[in-house]
Chain A
Amino acid sequence: MASTSFGKKACELVREIAESEAGTLPPYNQDLMRTIADQCADHGEAMQTLAVQINEVNDAEDDGAEDADAREDKTGSLRTGMFAHHQAILRNKRAMLVYLNERMNRIKDLRWQIGTGLPDNVSSNLSHGERAFFTKYSENLNEYMREVDLNLTLDLEPPKHHKIQVRCLEDRGELFTRDGSVDLKRNTVHLMWREEAQPLIREGVLEQLDDDGC
């Protein structure tokens, strides 16, 4: 049986996510997750072995060689062993869920802050399952927003002005807005409606200039 460190690896995993800066998403630690799952399997096997031993002791009843107390002692210590392994699995599971859950919360935040498309450098830090979750979460939110007919990802901060001054950071060509069309060229400054500018600010096409300036 491989060595089972009783939760050391799991502790490492939790520490990793706890010590990472809030709002960042470090690469998904597939190796460590794998190791912990393997350890759980080992714990599971150990439990099976112990269970078999307990049964053996109980079956030996007919021999009459041991009295009831001694048998009780023996199975008692075996049961304690089983319990320790059981708790070790629960602890590992808890640690894995803490890790997954914290990452999931950060992934959810990404949907609100960045939008439906993840940039490659973020996406590559996600596990396959996490990318699938992001897609589902995003779809579900879109569907809800369609149903209530309100884009909830706008106005994450209380608004000050209804129009904002923005500087264009890359060539985007013509954009049709409520007030007619604007030509988004690099380094030009425009006065735009908040609602129309916000998605582009998030995409990094526009940059908001000082709020008090407008």
Chain B
Amino acid sequence: MSDEDDEEEDARRMRNLNLDEAFEPVTSPVMRLKRAWVRERLAPEMMTREDALVEAVKTAVEAQERALTRRAETRAERGGGAEDASEKLMDNVMWVEVNRIKYLLREYARTRLRKIEAHAFYFLRTEEGQERLSERLSEAEQKYVRKYAIAVSEHYENVLKELPDGYRDAVKEFATKFATDEEEGSAMISKPKTDSFVFFRFREDVVNFVTGEDDDGNTDSVDLKRGAILLAKYSMFKDLLHTDPPKAELV
């Protein structure tokens, strides 16, 4: 009996080693942005844009930049002294940090743009995509994807116009005026691969998480343990990413 308890205790300790302390729920906006960025990079589909967070971090960075510039100016007026040297060093360290955060801001926006471009026609031409578009993309991003799609399809159609009638559409393999919804299969639109495999790390114990249902209505469920890392289909546990605070994260 006590052996079993020990074993369970060991397993728990091992799982805890998996947890990255820095990734525990934190209040710092920068850490939250970093997490949003990691999640955005690893998830096959578009995540909600962390607008408020981006703004908060941007304002903080700008304030810090101004403060550092001011300090450098007053130092210059004062002329160099012994205590200035250590202040200068501190400032350098802070500049490095400011730059890292700016890189994070840029990389976050770039990651999103890359994903938007890859699935531009999915966002504009499919029903599911349009829903995602209005719920997860910022206004500027929506504008971007519209213009991008126009530029791409104009470019394609400019070449495809040489083909016989019916084959000139940039998004459909073959389209006639008789085409119905059943022929949607001919659409060449790449969708986010939500069935691709990703690594989940669970931050909380989740008991009896329902993973699926078979034809008879029986449900499959698993008990998820805090700290466990699991390779699974993205679609299986994606809902846990969106709880607040998230019960799972991608690694």
Contact = CB atoms under 8 A, between A and B. Distances in A.
Tell me whether A and B are bound partners: yes
B154 to A, nearest CB: 8
B155 A150 contact: no
A168 interface: no
B contact face: mostly helix, strand, loop, or mixed: helix
Given A147-B140, A150-B109, A41 B164 contact: yes
Nearest to B105: A150
Interface size grouping (class) on chain A:
35 or more
Contacts of A130: 155
Contacts of A89: 163-164, 167
A contact face: mostly helix, strand, loop, or mixed: helix
A178 B68 CA distance: 13
A155 B163 contact: no
Interface string B11-44: 0000000000000000000000000000000000
Given A93-B173, A104-B152, A155-B102, 18 more contacts: A34-B162, A44-B167, A97-B170, A104-B155, A129-B155, A133-B151, A133-B154, A133-B155, A136-B154, A137-B151, A140-B147, A148-B140, A152-B110, A152-B113, A154-B106, A158-B100, A159-B96, A162-B98
State the 5 A-B residue pairs at the shortest beta-carbon distance, nearest first.
A44-B164, A37-B162, A162-B95, A136-B151, A147-B140
Interface of A: 33-34, 37, 40-41, 43-44, 47, 86, 89-90, 93-94, 96-97, 100, 104, 108, 129-130, 132-133, 136-137, 140-141, 143-144, 147-152, 154-155, 158-159, 161-162, 178, 194
